[in-house]
Amino acid sequence: MSIADAKAALDGGSVDAALIAGAAAYQAKQQGYHMVADGEGLIKAIIAVAVREDFYEKNRDVIDRFMEAQKRVAAFMKDNQDEVLQIVAEELDLDEEAVREMYACYDFSMDVTDEDKAGFQKTADFMFKSGMIEEEMDVNSLFL
């Protein structure tokens, strides 16, 4: 179930609890919902773009263009933070102060650090121990 669907189910009363994040979690908090648990100390929320190795090998030009576009977006965000906050607030139907509060929680760097890799590994280990994935995984095998 997507985060949006989980939030809608919670709002509609068809579920009693839901796994939500980001703007949906912020809105739930504002609506008076109670947080029962979070990933603090268990996992680090890291967002990544992933492709299959064969796609990467066959489409380096696409990957290069994508990475260049990501760099331009990151530069725009850095140089135009107030405008970015306004755009995001409009897109997520949140007030700008809410977006500013959440913005501070995210790292928009494109660099994958050792800390990031450790966070991915912690997440993979958590997923294995929780039965969410069937086999243990060395996340270093995911990076080209």
List Cβ neighbours of 43 (8 Å cut-off, separation of 6 or more): 119, 122, 123, 126
Structure tokens belonging to residue 119:
């966070």
Q: Which domain holds residue 114?
A: 40-142
Number of domains in the chain: 2
Structure tokens belonging to residue 37:
């648990």
Confidence (pTM):
0.69
Query: How do residues 21-53 score in pLDDT, each as one tens digit?
Result: 888 888 899 999 999 988 777 666 778 889 999
Residues 62, 113, single domain; the answer is: yes
Residues 22, 54, single domain; the answer is: no
Residues 60, 12, single domain; the answer is: no
Residues 62, 109, single domain; the answer is: yes
CA–CA dist 34, 20 (Å, integer): 12
